[in-house]
Amino acid sequence: MRQIVIWLLGVSLIAACSSPAKQRAEAPPVGYQPTPQATPVRMGVAQAPKLTEVQDAVKRVFKEAAVVYRDYNPSFLAGDFNGDQSQDLAVIIKPVKLEEMNQELPPWLVRDPLGNKPARIRLAITKDEPLLAVIHGYGANDWRDPEATQAFVLKNVVGNDLRVQSGKEFVAANSGKRLPRPQGDLIGETLQGTAGYLYYARATYSWYDPKTFKDETTAGMFHGRRQ
C-alpha cells in the first residue's frame, strides 16, 4: 500500500512539473515583424528655390563652365515648364569657360527661341553672354535631385521681370488673342521692350509675342493643361 501511495505522489509531481513546460511549448510564437523598407526622403520641392540650392544645381549640370548670373533680379525661378508634373528650375547663367560651353557634344541643348535656325545647327556662346538655363526636374526631388541633369540653354531671351505664369493665368491675361499651346507653366518677361512669354511645346522652348504670334500649323488654340 505504501508503495502505491509513493507511486501516486511521484506521478502527481511529474504532472505538475511538466504542465508549465507544455504550456510554454504550445504558446504561439511572436509574429514576424519585417524591417520597414527604406523610402526616398522627399525634400520640400514646393518651397521657393534658395541661392545655394540653385548654385548646386548649376554646378551639377555645367560643372565649372557656368555660374549663376547674379546681376539679374530675379535670376532664378521654379515651375513645371515642360508639363510633366515635376518642378523645373529656370536660372540665368553666365559662361565662365567658353571652350566647355561650346564643346562639340554638350550634355545640354542650346536653342534660340527668337531664331529660325534648325536644331542641328550649332549655336555659339560668347563671353559673358547671359543665358537662360532650364534644368528639368527628375526623380524624387525634381530639379534638386542629384540625377536631374537634363537642361536647355536658351540664347537671346534674358529679359526683365521674370515670373512664372500658369496656363490659366496666361489665358486670362491674353483673352481674345491667338495663343500657342504650352505643355506646362510659362515664363513671363519683358524682352527688348516687349512683354511676352517663353513656353515649352514640341520638345523645345519658343517665344510668344502677343502682337506677332501666328497660329501654329497643327497645334490649334490653347485649351489649358490636361489633368
222 domain-assigned: no
72 domain-assigned: yes
16 domain-assigned: no
213 domain-assigned: no
Contact 148, 139 (CB under 8 A): yes
Q: Which helix (H) or strand (E) holds 91?
A: strand 88-95
pLDDT at 119: 73
43 domain-assigned: no
User: Based on the structure, what is the number of domains in the chain?
Assistant: 1
pLDDT in tens, 51-110: 999 999 999 999 999 999 999 999 999 999 999 999 999 999 999 999 999 999 999 999
Q: The whole model's pTM is what?
A: 0.76
**How many Å apart are CA 79 and CA 163, to the nearest integer?**
10
> How far from 192 is each of 35, 111, 196, CA to CA, in Å?
60, 18, 10
121 domain-assigned: yes
Q: Which of 113-127, 156-170, 196-210 has the lowest mean pLDDT?
A: 113-127
State which residues form the domain around 195.
51-208
DSSP 187-226: EEEEETTEEEEEEEETTEEEEE-TTT----TTT-S-----
pLDDT at 11: 47
**How many Å apart are CA 189 and CA 196, to the nearest integer?**
6
**How many Å apart are CA 218 and CA 227, to the nearest integer?**
21
pLDDT at 33: 45
Cis previous bond, 210, omega within 30: no
For the record, the C-alpha cell of 181 comes out as: 499651346
90 domain-assigned: yes
**How many Å apart are CA 85 and CA 56, to the nearest integer?**
22
102 domain-assigned: yes
pLDDT at 121: 85
